Amino acid sequence: MQRRHLLSTFALGIALSAPLAADDERYITLASTTSTEQSGLFADIVPQFRETTGIDVRVVAVGTGQAFEIARRGDADSLLVHDTQGEEQFVADGYASERLDVMYNDFVLIGPSDDPAGIADADDALDAFSRIAASGSPFTSRGDDSGTHRAEQRFWEEAGVDTTGGWYRELGSGMGPTLNTAAGMDAYVFADRATWLAFDNRQDLAILFEGDEALFNQYGSLLLDRERHPHLKHDLAEQWHQWLVSDEGQAAIAGYAIDGEQLFFPNAGHH
């Protein structure tokens, strides 16, 4: 009798825990950028997605290069990053079946308000980068193979600047910590506008150069390939992917603001 009672109790425990386990599986792991996480975007839009679908999104916030690597290994169900060239190559290499434009904002050049390199008077972004190098003013770089770091590297290359001098500091850190270091050093820094708007420790830093079309910053969502990593939660990830570009998802992105200033601008289907 006692053995039957124990077995019944065990079976009841399994029955009670089964729905909880099923509910617990209603989430995806999203590899994304520190800029989307540190700006507060996901904290705002993920609850809206969860309310609509019952699916949670657990974000692993890293640089874009590292996010690609996580997805290549099959350690994330979905990918949202900002390096269009790298994203298109990711699809071409067979790691993702689809890439969609989701939203954009822009990059800005930030520095000490007295602007020793005079970049506020620059003709364009390349001129601004050249002025920083010519002045020998300290510059803090993320140095983490993120989308922001990749964009910054392209500007230095196009400007013909050698960054091996002591004025250039590669940190290997996310956008928030890089901004903190720049604030402490009175250094110039290349950042996405969203993280800057959410950043509190500005000290003497200010946006000094902005508005060049070359500073456009596009974000894309990638649907990972089912055949390459069949163990992933592809059906749930596809709901997230499609929600981001739906009217509801685009409205959620557009609705996120700090102090009345919109951080990301939805542009699904726009090229």
Domain locations in the chain as residue ranges: 27-105+216-266, 107-215
Q: Looking at the domain that runs over 107-215, which CATH code has it been given? A: 3.40.190.10
Residues 6+ apart with CB under 8 A from 204: 112, 113, 114, 183, 186
- pLDDT value of residue 24: 58
More confident residue, 102 or 18: 102
Residues 6+ apart with CB under 8 A from 231: 74
Q: What is the mean pLDDT of the chain?
A: 91
End-to-end CA separation in angstroms for the chain: 71
Q: For residues 235 and 223, what is the distance between their CA atoms, to the nearest angstrom?
A: 10
Q: Is 107-215 the same fold as 27-105+216-266?
A: yes
Q: Which of 7-11, 107-111, 179-183 has the lowest mean pLDDT?
A: 7-11
Paired sense of beta strands 261-262 and 139-141, if any:
unpaired
Question: For residues 237 and 26, is the Cβ–Cβ distance under 8 A?
Answer: no
pTM above 0.75, yes or no: yes
Q: Which two tokens stand for residue 181?
A: 């270091």
208 band by pLDDT with thresholds 50, 70 and 90: very high
**How much of the chain, in percent, has pLDDT values that exceed 90?**
87
Q: Looking at the domain that runs over 27-105+216-266, which CATH code has it been given? A: 3.40.190.10
Confidence check: pLDDT of 231 > 60: yes
